[in-house]
Amino acid sequence: MILFTTSEIYPFSKSGGLGDVAGILPLALRELGREVAVITPLYGRIYSTTYPLRLLMENCPVGYPWPEVTADIYVADYQGVPVYFVDRPEYFDRGEYYCTYHGEYFDNCERFIFFSRAVLAWARWLDHKPTILHCNDWHTSLIPAYLFEARQSDPFWGDVGSVLTIHNLAFQGQYSARLFWESGLSLSAWSMDGAEYYGSFNMLKTGIAYADKVTTVSPSYAREIMTSEFGYGMEGMLAKRARDVQGILNGVDYSIWDPRADPFLKAHYSPYDLSGKRLCKKDLLETMGLHSRFLSRPVLGFIGRMRWQKGVDLVLDILPELLEMDLGLVFLGEGDLETETSLTNLSEQYPGQLAVEIGYTEELSHQIMAGSDIFLMPSRYEPCGLTQLYGLRYGTLPVTSDVGGLRDTVTPWPEPGCTGFKFRRFEPEDFAETVRAAVDLWADPKGWEAVRQRAMLQDFSWRQSAREYDNLYRSLEE
Ligand code: ADP
Ligand code: GLC
């Protein structure tokens, strides 16, 4: 049995792509005949009512940060996959998952040590013993180290393997050494080849050191993270583990992201009949208060965390040119206060042409995806990226930078088989020029139609990726 451990899982919790991946990969694995269960924290923000939660166990002993501390375990039947929820309200019943405008929660390290230890504690109570603990990002990356140590003392764990998937190397969970001493890991883990990073306790590094296999979410990012440009200080550790590092591209959950059946849309459409897309565009213009003349002009959409990674500042840099080209602009996201404020001010300055929604809205994200013509994604780095894949399926052609998963998923115009647009140098001029090329092609309906249809017919479903994970698990189970 694969026990998939994650700090978020859609539709119960989600702050970004990790939630999407956790919500579909276990289902795709089950379709391949794998037995899978998921374990995740029970946040105050859990919002699915479709899958009711049931209390399974009170007071599961966790023993951290004091010997007496316990967790309650709930379960939901998520389309045949059990999802276990670790409940400890003082850690997880909060307004946000990880951070507020004031920064990270002060006790994030403690929260996720607690969660990781609860995973190991609960795994011992399961009817079916896991063969693999599949961990994701820094939140759960101490688990491979706990497992490594448990294997030495407890035969139960002897044949259990661990996989760590890195969704974003920039977030490492780095804390004061003091927290290491409280984590329960043994002294031998405190080394250059383990949990220690220049005197600090680095949770992601610990996972990279101890996991039996390390994966990341695209082949290009797997190569990039071995370099100092993208490695965020982990390149040395990753290079040491190079033989066990692999890139497996994410897929898309087309049961949620497909304009043929998307319940959030006013109208549906397919690669062969795009009349519904026009209705979606009209609806988007009305919802966002854009002028109706943009029905016959390109509308550019941006959806995502408004952070340095996503390059929203590059969009702001070229805004005067975009406005001059008479394009409509729609932004949805939350993140840096400064970016949010600039965009809000701009929307007041250019009413009817530039609209912004600050916040997190699942419904609107689908509507922007369907109602826009072009999707902007000028990421500085992008481990995989899912929104460009949604853009392809929704016929909203992506204009992207040329990094990580964007490299692996978008074929740039005018190459044969092109599905979108890319700029190579991360400079405003290059980005502006590429948007201009996209707008020029948009003005040629035949040319646009050909690329759009090809984009919509791309298949990034999870089947292939799930097979690769399955093979990876097999290599550890043998
Ligand atoms: P990342 O995980 O780096 O944020 P991805 O492209 O992999 O980027 O995934 C982002 C996911 O989060 C997508 O499903 C996207 O639609 C969603 N998302 C991001 N910001 C918002 C928002 N403000 N409102 C709704 N959905 C959002
Ligand atoms: C991360 C990355 C994103 C990736 C997602 C899911 O948040 O930033 O590129 O698609 O995880 O793996």
**Candidate of 386, 390, 460, 469 to mutate for ligand 2, largest count of ligand atoms within 8 Å of Cβ:** 386
Q: What is the pTM of this model?
A: 0.95
Which of 20, 136, 171 to mutate to test ligand 1, by most ligand atoms within 8 A of the CB atom? 20
How far is Cα 344 from Cα 455, in angstroms, rounded to an integer?
32
> If DSSP codes are grouped into helix, strand and coil, which group holds residue 136?
strand
Distance CA 240, CA 244 (A): 9
Q: How far is the CA of 305 from the centre of ligand 1 (A)?
A: 7
Confidence of residue 46 (pLDDT cuts 50, 70, 90): confident
- How confident is the model over 373-402, as a mean pLDDT? 98
Give the whole-angstrom CA distance, residue 303 versus residue 382.
14
Which protein residue's CA is at the shortest distance from atom 5 of ligand 2? 17
The arithmetic mean of pLDDT across residues 352-368, rounded, is 97
List CB contacts of 423: < 8 A, sequence separation 6 or more. 378, 399, 400, 401, 402, 430, 431, 433, 434
Per DSSP bridges, beta strands 245-247 and 81-87 are unpaired
Q: 15: which residues sit within 8 A by CB, 6+ positions away?
A: 8, 97, 98, 305, 360
Report how far residue 328's alpha carbon sits from residue 350's, in angstroms, rounded to the nearest whole number.
10
Q: What is the rounded end-to-end Cα distance, in angstroms, of the chain?
A: 14
Among 151, 255, 168, which residue's Cα sits nearest to residue 210?
A: 151
**What is the pLDDT at residue 127?**
87
Given a cut of 80, is residue 48 above it in pLDDT?
Answer: no
With cut-offs at 50, 70 and 90, classify the pLDDT of residue 360: very high
Q: What is the pLDDT of residues 200-218, one digit of tens each?
A: 999 999 999 999 999 999 9
Nearest CA among 276, 270, 335 for reference residue 308:
335
From the CA of 10, how far away is ligand 2's center (Å)?
A: 14
The answer to whether the bond into 11 is cis (omega within 30° of 0) is yes
Partners of 134 in the β-ladder: 4, 163
Please report the pLDDT score of residue 47 as a whole number. Answer: 65
Instruction: Examine the pLDDT at 257 and tell me if it is beyond 80.
Output: yes
* More reliable by pLDDT, 377 or 44: 377
Residue 370 makes CB contacts below 8 A (sequence gap 6+) with 259, 262, 265, 269, 277, 280, 281, 284, 394, 396
**Residues 209, 145 contacting (CB under 8 angstroms):** yes
Q: Find out whether 445 and 439 touch, Cβ atoms under 8 Å.
A: no
Cα 53 to averaged position of ligand 2 atoms, centre (Å): 27
Q: pLDDT of 305-320, one tens digit each? A: 999 999 999 999 999 9
Q: Please give the angle made by the CA atoms of 9, 15 and 19, to the nearest 5 degrees.
A: 25
Report the pLDDT value the prediction gives residue 102, as an integer from 0 to 100: 86
Distance CA 169, CA 205 (A): 10
CA of 409 to the centre of ligand 2 (A): 14
Q: Which fold has domain 275-459?
A: Rossmann fold (3.40.50)
Range(s) for CATH 3.40.50.2000 in the chain? 2-251+463-477, 275-459
Q: What is the pLDDT of residues 155-196, one digit of tens each?
A: 999 999 999 999 999 999 999 999 999 999 999 999 999 999
* % of the chain at pLDDT higher than 70: 100
> Does 100 have pLDDT greater than 90?
no
pLDDT of residue 84: 98
Give the confidence band of 408 by pLDDT, cuts at 50, 70, 90: very high
Mean pLDDT of 90-106: 91
- % of the chain beyond a pLDDT of 90: 96
Helix (H) / strand (E) element for 60: namely strand 54-61
Is the pLDDT score of 252 beyond 80? yes
In this predicted structure, what is the pLDDT of residue 401? Answer: 98
Distance, in Å, from the CA atom of 406 to the CA atom of 383, rounded to the nearest integer, reads 8
Region class of 385: left (phi > 0), else alpha (psi between -120 and 50), else beta: left
Decide if 238 contacts 331 (C-beta within 8 A).
no
Asked if residues 37 and 126 have their Cβ atoms less than 8 Å apart, the reply is: yes
pLDDT reported for residue 478: 86
CATH 3.40.640.10 for domain 2-251+463-477, yes or no, is no
From atom 17 of ligand 1, which residue's Cα is the shortest distance away? 16
Calpha distance 193→345 (Å, rounded) = 48
Q: Distance between CA 457 and CA 7 in Å, rounded?
A: 32
Q: How do residues 68-85 score in pLDDT, each as one tens digit?
A: 999 999 999 999 999 999
Residues with CB under 6 A from ligand 2: 16-18, 21, 167-168, 217, 250, 382-386, 405
The confidence score (pLDDT) of residue 181 equals 93
**pLDDT at residue number 88:** 97
Check residue 101 and give its pLDDT. 80
SS (H, E, C) 265-319: CCCCCECCECHHHHHHHHHHHHHHCCCHHHHHCCEEEEECCECHHHCHHHHHHCH
108-123 vs 143-153: helix crossing angle, rounded to 10: 40
Q: Is the pLDDT of residue 49 over 80?
A: no
